[in-house]
Amino acid sequence: MKMTSKFFTLCFVSFLFVACSNDDNGPTLAPVESKTASNIPAPQTGGFGQGEIGGPFTKFSFSTGEVTTSETEWDIAFRGTTIAVNGGVVTGTNDEPVRNGEGSAAVASGVFASITDAAGLPFAQDADGSFAIATGSDNGWYNYNPMVNVVSPIPGKVLVIKTHDSKYAKVEVLSYYRDAPSQPDNTSESRYYTFNYLYNPNEGETSLE
């Protein structure tokens, strides 16, 4: 009887130890998602001497990895070379979406793989008169060469996004042209984004690797 009692006591203590150890590990995190989005359309009207820029933005959700028409469940949105985030307020440009999320953005310097954490980056939201991701050649993610009429992503610029629901992603724009030609020229069809992205679906987790 004494041996049996000791055996069950040992088993009970071992169970408690394992249970406590599991609790210490915390909740299991969902894996980060690394994908490529191709040919995301970003049409616009006007510009280049053709009147005021306008037209709706194409909205994108990192959680689904797809374009969305939702007025609330979107993270970034594209029109021409402009990228909006779902956070802050409208900037005052034509036909832009209402901001109703907690989104923000930072432009980090480094290769895509080297940007491993969103913590400490200088995030900003869209604001009256300005976008969090600066517009204009050499100001944000792209360079425009008027000699050949080509928009090129700036090497070493990574967009880090806080999503509308406070999760994190990083984006590397690969091309502004349909089917991402290696050598786009003025005959290439523009306003189609192809980009690599990594999305961390765990709320409050800033890791980007």
pTM for the predicted model, two decimal places: 0.87
Domain count, the chain: 1
Please check whether residue 21 lies inside any domain of the structure: no
Rounded mean pLDDT, 156-175: 98
Local confidence band at 62 (pLDDT 50, 70, 90 cut-offs): very high
Rounded mean pLDDT, 62-74: 98
Cα gap 7→139, rounded to integer Å: 70
3-state secondary structure of 3: helix
Cα gap 39→75, rounded to integer Å: 17
Cα gap 169→7, rounded to integer Å: 51
Cα gap 83→169, rounded to integer Å: 15
Which tops the pLDDT comparison, 68 or 204? 68
Rounded mean pLDDT, 7-19: 43
Please check whether residue 113 lies inside any domain of the structure: yes
Please check whether residue 67 lies inside any domain of the structure: yes
Domain hosting 183: range is 32-200
pLDDT for res 49: 78
Please check whether residue 19 lies inside any domain of the structure: no
Please check whether residue 205 lies inside any domain of the structure: no
3-state secondary structure of 9: helix
Lowest mean pLDDT among 37-51, 65-79, 150-164: 37-51
pLDDT for res 20: 44
Please check whether residue 207 lies inside any domain of the structure: no
pLDDT for res 25: 63
- Give the pair of three-digit tokens for residue 189: 């069809």
- Find residue 68's DSSP bridge partners: 59
Cα gap 19→107, rounded to integer Å: 43
Rounded mean pLDDT, 154-182: 98
DSSP class per residue in 91-156: -S-TTPPPP-SB-EEEEEES-GGG--B-TT---B-BBTTB-SS--STTTSSEEEETTTTEEEEPTT
Q: Are strands 66-68 and 76-79 parallel, antiparallel or unpaired?
A: unpaired
3-state secondary structure of 88: strand
